[in-house]
Homo-oligomer: A and B are copies of this chain.
């Protein structure tokens, strides 16, 4: 499947996808937001290992790539919600088989060492 990437690596599909979602926290964020719109505090609570700074940077990255939308609701105090755009919904769907692979592995459907 890598044929079309050998000479023009920067334009292959996986490379484009990795630019958007490469990295542990971006994958986690896509998974968290796949559940529906979330407030910043809720996202932090769901991902306990990440600092506020890193979380903000990763959310901005996903926003700049058009897969996450940030909305501010004019309430007191203002409510800020993050959600998936249509492209983000497609991306989350494309990540679902990866999640399922992880579920099969977790359930021991193949041996992590000798498989």
Contact = CB atoms under 8 A, between A and B. Distances in A.
Contacts of A15: 28, 102
Interface residues of A, number: 57
Interface string A1-34: 1110110010111111110111110011001101
A59 to B, nearest CB: 16
B46 A2 contact: yes
A9 B44 CA distance: 12
A73 interface: no
Interface string A83-115: 001110011111111111111111000111111
A48 interface: yes
Nearest to A24: B22
Nearest to A88: B115
A66 interface: yes
27 contacts: A1-B34, A2-B31, A9-B46, A12-B31, A13-B104, A13-B105, A14-B98, A14-B99, A15-B102, A16-B106, A17-B99, A17-B102, A18-B27, A22-B23, A23-B24, A65-B112, A66-B114, A67-B115, A86-B110, A87-B110, A87-B111, A87-B112, A87-B115, A90-B104, A91-B101, A94-B100, A94-B101
